[in-house]
Amino acid sequence: MSKGRADAAAGAPGILLRYLQEQNRPYSAQDVFGNLQREHGLGKAAVVKALEQLAQQGKIKEKMYGKQKIYFADQDQFAMVSDADLQGLDAKIVALTAKVQSLQQSCRHMEAELKELTSALTTPEMQKEIQELKKECAGYRERLKNIKAATNHVTPEEKEQVYRERQKYCKEWRKRKRMATELSDAILEGYPKSKKQFFEEVGIETDEDHNVKLPDP
């Protein structure tokens, strides 16, 4: 191994850790290698070794998807995601999925029409209509290609990450609510007034006061 390649391999863990934290999205080892090879001169073996080392040290997380490992930054270091943000991402996923399905259905419809026309007798008028349909179908294909290649496209890995974060914060919410309930119940055992009066005097507002319901596990 040349000195330059050896130096690059030695610094690989730091480079990969910064990259995963800055991007904050899931990557396979092949993705990381392809994205950083030219800039940092990292070999694939060095990338795989560095990612496994970081995962073993608990600095990043890894998860199996089929036969492939996916690596991503430890989410505990980032700020809490609100329910509104989660709902926004869910709505975005639904909208993009519906758009892709609609375009795929349109392409299938156009292809079926084109097949029927080409199987019939060809006339000058029919040939013209076939060309127009081919052009229209090509436009739908291009739109579908742009949607799939969009930088804001929500991947299955990102969707899984969002749901995993939602479960984490709901678990914390449930834990804190239980602690608050146990503490207030202990105080109320020796409190001369009602629970409602106690909450009003202390200034405690419950989920029920704001019509908020803890999501199911």
User: Half-sphere exposure of residue 134, counting CA atoms within 13 Å on the CB side?
Assistant: 9
Distances (CA, A) of 195 to 112, 160, 177, 199: 69, 41, 16, 6
Tell which residue, 207, 209, 205, has the closest CA to residue 173. Answer: 207
pLDDT at residue number 80: 61
Q: Token pair for residue 78?
A: 């980032």
Partners of residue 69 on adjacent β-strands: 64
Tell which residue, 171, 199, 172, 174, has the closest CA to residue 185. Answer: 199
| Most distant CA atoms of the chain, gap in Å | 95
State the distance between the two ends of the chain, measured CA to CA, in whole angstroms.
52
Q: Token pair for residue 118?
A: 């080409």
- What is the signed CA dihedral for 17, 22, 24, 25, rounded to 10 degrees? -90
Q: Token pair for residue 124?
A: 């000058």
Q: Where are the chain's structural domains?
A: 3-73, 79-120, 158-210
pLDDT at residue number 152: 62
Single-letter code of the amino acid located at 50: A
The one-digit pLDDT tens for each residue of the chain (217 residues) are: 444 556 566 778 888 888 888 888 888 989 888 888 777 778 888 888 988 988 898 888 888 888 888 888 877 766 666 777 777 777 888 888 888 888 888 888 887 776 766 665 456 776 777 788 788 888 888 877 777 776 666 667 777 888 888 888 788 888 887 888 888 887 878 778 787 887 787 777 787 877 777 777 6
pLDDT at residue number 12: 83
pLDDT at residue number 1: 47
CATH fold of the domain at 3-73: Arc Repressor Mutant, subunit A (1.10.10)
Own/partner pairs, 18-21, CB within 8 angstroms, 24+ separation: 20/60, 20/71, 20/72, 20/73, 21/73, 21/77
